[in-house]
Structure 1
């Protein structure tokens, strides 16, 4: 059975997801954005075997602990799309600018393009390419449990910022329509910040995109 524990990290309260198979205890972390020691302690308390670190995009609050945890667990870093390489290349510089601890460099082992299927135990996760917030943003969709990890694409009642370098507002709206709103209404999504919601709820009530949902 798929299990998820959300651990907020960094001053931006970014939702890092620890995702694991309850039988094998094999796990992945989605967007280990910071507080590496905290995440390591959570994993140890749950008795998990981390197999990989997945990234939706390259912003420091989503990737800041990845370099350190890769060293701890000796696991591959998977994602995001290579269009976000420039963000990861700048992660130390940007962290210094925000007054964050300077992180270990992030070395990606597998860039994603969208359409790939990643596996954890018997569970499958479809990679969905959703640029706009950043040019290389991806999302992870587990159809079996009806869960989507949206990163900073879609939030409860809001959408991602597009005022960062290479952000694109129309591209973000198009990504939401194509990659989020085509999923079943009951799909629950875990975003990069804030509470959980469902696709159906956002179609009806999200002021940024509801009027475009048809």
Structure 2
């Protein structure tokens, strides 16, 4: 395994921005840069990595507020989310006003991602899973070699994502977790959009929303 990660909580919502780092090449992707770019760039410098792409799980402000600025600053390509989240990204300036965030620009990804796609981080390959429910275009990035998933706001340690936003749907979210995430394996560790990490096995056993109730 040559993929490692570093988590950088950003914005007042303490969203888990992540660096996914290929140790063989020193190249890294930044996942969900929601804001506070100086913190993200400081961490990248401390890790001595070269940022090569921005990966986006979904279009909510706290996950994408810094995407346009970072892409412009470092000339990085943007990959994801799935195109059903375009309406969220288009409304970023409005989201900023509504939630009292500094202005941030909307953007168009260099590549919208779909279920079954893959993206490269250095020599590592991440699989893309479309996991709607929290938002309609939400995706998850999975590293088979590292047994690691970056799940955004689909699943949390002890909870699941909200489904009361526009085009959210509770049953769709449950189906995404049970049919897309659980089959990856109980040993898979995951980085959620907020809060501490966990494993799929732990959530299968204990999560009150999607855990086993036997």
TM-score between both structures, scaled by the size of structure 2: 0.96
Q: Partners of 2:210 and 2:30 in 1: how far apart?
A: 29
Partner of 1:89 in structure 2?
A: 90
Shift in Å, 1:39: 1.1
4+ residue runs over 4 A deviation: none
Contact 1:63-1:106 within 8 A present in 2 as well: no
Q: Retained in 2: the 8 A contact 1:142–1:148?
A: yes
Q: Which runs of 5+ in 2 are unaligned?
A: none
In terms of mean alpha carbon deviation, does 154-163 or 44-53 score higher? 44-53
Aligned to 1:21: 22
Q: Which residue of 2 aligns with 1:60?
A: 61
The superposition leaves residues 178-200 of structure 1 with CA deviations (integer Å, 9 ceiling, x where unpaired) of 11111111110110000000011
Over the residues paired in the alignment, what is the CA RMSD in angstroms? 1.2
Counterpart residue number, 2:34: 33
Structure 1 position 104, deviation (Å): 2.7
1:126 and 1:140 in contact (8 A); partners too:
yes
In 2, Cα distance between equivalents of 1:112 and 1:175:
16
* Structure-to-structure mapping, 1:185-196, within 5 angstroms: 185-196=186-197
Name the count of aligned residue pairs: 213
TM-score (norm 1): 0.96
3-state SS in 2 of match to 1:19: strand
- Unpaired stretches in structure 1, ≥5 consecutive residues: none
- The CA deviation at 1:22 is 2.0
